[in-house]
């Protein structure tokens, strides 16, 4: 138990569906992140939220839409995805303090399959 919880753990969706991934952190951290992990590729940073404000959108297609209603919750809304979007989506949180090297705590991820 890392203090970061992701739901669902597994998701299969058609290309025309709309679904959302949820992440919740119980660590009191001020920053949250979405990463995508595909086979043969490094963990790719998608979005960064610092104090609930989106500070980074790493050239992610608009079919992925993040939402951060408060510092403890992060969502990733999905619509009209492509099969190549199938991957493990990981949420992480950390306590950002002036750029110091802090630890990132990850959830267990959502294994997404687009059919």
Place of tokens 């960064």: 48
Chain residues 38-97 in contact with other proteins, contact rule CB under 8 A: 40-43, 45, 48, 50, 55-56, 90, 92, 96
CB 61 within 8 A of CB 78: no
The distance of closest approach from Cβ of residue 81 to other proteins in the complex, given in angstroms and rounded to an integer, is: 21
CB 56 within 8 A of CB 64: no
- What distance in Å separates the CA atoms of residue 102 and residue 51, rounded to the nearest whole number? 16
Q: Is beta strand 110-114 parallel, antiparallel or unpaired with respect to 10-13?
A: parallel
The distance of closest approach from Cβ of residue 22 to other proteins in the complex, given in angstroms and rounded to an integer, is: 15
CB 110 within 8 A of CB 20: no
Our finding on whether 7 is near other proteins (CB under 8 A) is no
For residue 47, give both structure tokens.
Answer: 């979005």
User: Of these, 3, 18, 33, 79, which contacts other proteins (CB under 8 A)?
Assistant: 33
User: Of these, 31, 76, 81, 114, which contacts other proteins (CB under 8 A)?
Assistant: 31
Our finding on whether 109 is near other proteins (CB under 8 A) is yes
Which residues of the chain form contacts with other proteins (CB under 8 A)? 2, 4, 31, 33, 40-43, 45, 48, 50, 55-56, 90, 92, 96, 99, 101, 103-104, 106-109
């Amino acid at each position: 138990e890392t203090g970061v919880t992701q739901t669902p753990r597994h998701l299969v969706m058609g290309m025309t569906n709309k679904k959302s991934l949820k992440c919740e952190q119980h660590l009191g951290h001020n920053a949250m992140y979405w990463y995508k992990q595909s086979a043969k590729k490094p963990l790719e940073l998608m979005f960064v939220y610092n104090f609930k404000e989106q500070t980074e959108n790493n050239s992610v297609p608009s079919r992925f839409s993040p939402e951060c209603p408060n510092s403890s919750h992060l969502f990733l809304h999905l619509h009209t995805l492509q099969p190549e979007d199938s991957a493990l989506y990981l949420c992480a949180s950390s306590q950002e303090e002036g750029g110091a090297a802090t630890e990132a705590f990850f959830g267990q991820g959502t294994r997404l399959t687009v059919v």
